[in-house]
Structure 1
Amino acid sequence: MGLTSNNSLVLAIVVAAVLFIGTVWLWPRLARQNWRAVSGRVGLMLFTQLALFASVGLAANQAFGFYASWADLFGKETDQGVVVDHSVNGSTGGPLQVVSTSTVPGVRAARPEMGGQVQKVDIVGPTTHIGAPAYVYLPPEYFQPQYRKRTFPVAVVLTGYPGTAKSLVDKEKLNFPNTAQQLAKDGRMQPMILVMLRPTVAPPRDTECVDVPDGPQAETFFAKDLPEAVQSQYRVGKRPDSWGVIGDSTGGYCALKLAMHHPDVYTAAAGLSPYYKAPIDPTTGDLFHDDEKLKNRADLWWLLKHEPAPDTSLLVTSSKVGEKNYKDTMKFIDRVQATNKTRISSIILESGGHNFNTWKREIPPALQWMSGRLIDH
């Protein structure tokens, strides 16, 4: 049974319930003062607690999408995201390959021209040699005859770390495709293509969208390889005013950084509960290898102070109660405003934690904001 399987969760709950009932039932029999009775009491309490923690952990993982599999949980993920081309004459068939197609979760329409489509794809970066799975949402209009000559704006959507791309698609989680379709249907945003993936392109390492010296070139993948791969497969705009990037947590930091570093690629970025400086911890490893310039560039505070303000639009979100980034976010807004060139908007909730429920409240207005800043050609 998989880590995210409902069967695993149900089994853990059943085991916890049985152990709890067994503890209550057997406790009087284990009240004697001998080593067997004491060992029995300790064993029942220990295994009941473990079962309860397992149930809560599995439920939390299903709700927030922290880990995709048991291998991911225990750090045994072996896919480093590097693709070696063994094809004849160096031909890969293109940097983006469609693996499968499905309907939009929560939308009852069999035909894509009525309900849109979600495509699972594999993207291979010809520059970085990074391979990453992704999901692409195509709105119904993409398949309709009257739009056959139209190019569509694109929003790249990034998860947090160590989130899963599937959590961006699932109706029970962040629900981006369904939300985008309903907003467009209601006339609150234009039809857009969404490209949804993890910022972690070299799992299990958290690369923070940095070009790591002698390591994964994550920033180049998102700034060059990904847009070129999408442009090779779909009818999308090629100018920066057709491209935006949105993400939560780590994905939010990456979104802001990509737009600030590459305004010639992304004209707008939305960071949901972002932070503003790449951390260094056991999940990231040494991202900068003593390269002070690279380290400074990954610090958005330093960037605003020492480099020319980029011509791009930013959206940041936080909450007054429940988010640790509230004070930093208010300071970031002030610093961006002082540039008089970079445009800044915000969504500040009264309360809301660092979780899916909070981001689901922010996603509809963030998509509307993004739509208002992108142009189809």
Structure 2
Amino acid sequence: MGDLSLISGWLPVTLLVLGAVALFFLLARGGRASVITIVVAAVLAVLTYFLLNWLVLDVFDLLPEPLPGAVRLWIAVGVGVFVLGVGSMVASSVGRKVTAIVCTVVALVVAASQINVYFEEYPTLGTLLASDENDVSAFAAANNLKSQNEKTPVVDRWRGDDSGHSRIESAPIPGTVSGFTARPAWFYLPPSYAGPKPPLLPVLILVSGQPGGPQDWVVSGGLQKLMDEFAAQHNGLAPVTVVVDPNGAEDGNTMCMDSDIAKADTYLTVDVVNWITANVGIDSNHAHWAFGGWSFGGTCSIQMATRHPDLFPSFIDLAGEREPAISADRAQTVQLAFHGDTAAFDALTPLALLSEKTYRDSWGFFAAGGDEPQTESWMTEVSTAAKNAGMTVTTQVVPGQGHSWGVPTATLVPALNFLAPRMGFTK
């Protein structure tokens, strides 16, 4: 039951049918009052569809980029349904009121379901009903495993004893130097890490989208399944993967920069790196490390790669933006983070750094959804700049996907396969 898909198969289709039936009952009241309700509901739904991005981006400044058209459509449907439901309960019998409430709830569930189909935030019933994130096991390092700078790739040091099982665990990583307060990090520990003679493994640091948190890579991104797939292809070997939090809250946005908001760059490059090296037992040779992310995290990855190529010479940018942003209004972003100092902000953006420096020892993997032209355009611009700056890059477009978790779930394993020679999983 927990594997029941919420984004494909019979359930979303069944919900759509139920929603159509519910909408029919809401429209079938008849009379002058019903006509007025329908007209008001339709007008508000249309206004919602066409004005929502203006409200979200310009009036309330809630997001740095527009909501996709499909998402706006289903939000507009939800607004219309709610108005219809309220109108159906006015001056009606008790039975009609109960019917209106039930139909409204059903129709709103359908709208929410379709928004989830777009974003793939909850791919299965099990992920929707998953236990609280605090129930995840606390991180426990492999016995007597101490970090060390390995000159040779892990594939040459591995004897193939993959009798262990992968684990998902969690631990706080304190902002000792940065002073930043982050939510606990989530860890993927591959089968080889838990075996009787574990090798010192490379590290992959991941960042989720915004709004969101580290658990999203596990719940929505299916991290354990994806990494187990990679490990199965490489005799039990996969990177120790640490999903970290550079934002501090669900709606926080530090842009992965040291700014007036927080020292997020210092947190990621000093506190996180030092804690992993001191506590996890890994290959501390950064030639074998990579930094990756989805959406906000993808933008963060190219920032880390351009600002700190010595730490993260390999990166994975999945549906990242052209540059970091807090607001759709760039001037507002600069004002909030750098007291209006545009030069200080520009100096830290990936495109500026790629135009100024050469990165001949850096490799990057870029991906975007085929139904998301804006992000695909950004991917093309940034990946071209990266290539012109000397990086070895590849790109992938995922057909039929917008700005959804379908992009990282389709591309994380190909990205790691692309980086496998760099990280030491193949020769």
Normalised by the size of structure 1, how large is the TM-score?
A: 0.71
Are 2:246 and 1:245 equivalent residues in the alignment?
no
Q: Tell me which protein shows more strand as a share of its residues.
A: 1
Are 2:238 and 1:191 equivalent residues in the alignment?
yes
Equivalent position of 1:57 in the other structure = 112
Change (3 A) 1:21 1:306: closer
Are 2:323 and 1:277 equivalent residues in the alignment?
yes
- Pick which of 153-162 and 287-296 moved more: 287-296
Equivalent position of 1:211 in the other structure = 258
Select the residue among 170, 188, 192 that pairs with 1:141.
192
Whether contact under 8 Å (1:272, 1:318) holds in the other structure is yes
Unaligned regions of 5+ residues in structure 1, if any? 1-5, 67-97, 103-111
Are 2:74 and 1:24 equivalent residues in the alignment?
no
Equivalent position of 1:345 in the other structure = 394
Task: Please report how far the alpha carbon of residue 53 of structure 1 lies from its aligned counterpart in structure 2 after TM superposition.
Answer: 3.3
Whether contact under 8 Å (1:247, 1:272) holds in the other structure is yes
Equivalent position of 1:132 in the other structure = 183
Change (3 A) 1:211 1:189: farther
Whether contact under 8 Å (1:261, 1:310) holds in the other structure is no
Deviations 1:62-94 (A, max 9, x none): 96449xxxxxxxxxxxxxxxxxxxxxxxxxxxx
Determine the C-alpha separation between the residues in 2 that align with 1:175 and 1:151: 24
- Pick which of 326-335 and 229-238 moved more: 326-335
Determine the C-alpha separation between the residues in 2 that align with 1:184 and 1:44: 56
Are 2:147 and 1:100 equivalent residues in the alignment?
no
Change (3 A) 1:310 1:263: farther
Give the superposed CA RMSD. Answer: 3.9
Count of matched residue positions in the alignment of Structure 1 and Structure 2: 318
Select the residue among 64, 84, 87 that pairs with 1:43.
87
Equivalent position of 2:379 in the other structure = 329
Identity of aligned residues (%): 18
Equivalent position of 2:41 in the other structure = none
Equivalent position of 2:64 in the other structure = none
The amino acid that maps onto 1:24 is F
Task: Please report how far the alpha carbon of residue 362 of structure 1 lies from its aligned counterpart in structure 2 after TM superposition.
Answer: 1.1
The amino acid that maps onto 2:138 is S
Determine the C-alpha separation between the residues in 1 that align with 2:297 and 2:279: 24
Equivalent position of 1:314 in the other structure = 364
Task: Please report how far the alpha carbon of residue 133 of structure 1 lies from its aligned counterpart in structure 2 after TM superposition.
Answer: 1.1
Unaligned regions of 5+ residues in structure 2, if any? 1-5, 39-82, 90-99, 123-135, 141-161
Are 2:223 and 1:176 equivalent residues in the alignment?
yes
Normalised by the size of structure 2, how large is the TM-score?
A: 0.64
Select the residue among 352, 373, 387 that pairs with 1:302.
352
Whether contact under 8 Å (2:319, 2:407) holds in the other structure is no
Change (3 A) 1:33 1:281: closer
Change (3 A) 1:208 1:113: farther
SS in 1 for 2:164: helix
Deviations 1:188-223 (A, max 9, x none): 88421010134423542211101122x311111111
Whether contact under 8 Å (1:158, 1:246) holds in the other structure is yes
Determine the C-alpha separation between the residues in 2 that align with 1:25 and 1:281: 39
Whether contact under 8 Å (1:273, 1:323) holds in the other structure is no
Determine the C-alpha separation between the residues in 1 that align with 2:237 and 2:191: 12
The amino acid that maps onto 1:262 is H
SS in 1 for 2:183: strand
SS in 1 for 2:281: coil
The amino acid that maps onto 1:295 is F
Are 2:270 and 1:224 equivalent residues in the alignment?
yes
Select the residue among 159, 166, 169 that pairs with 1:116.
166
Change (3 A) 1:234 1:27: same
The amino acid that maps onto 2:299 is Y
Q: Tell me which protein shows more helix as a share of its residues.
A: 2
Change (3 A) 1:310 1:280: farther
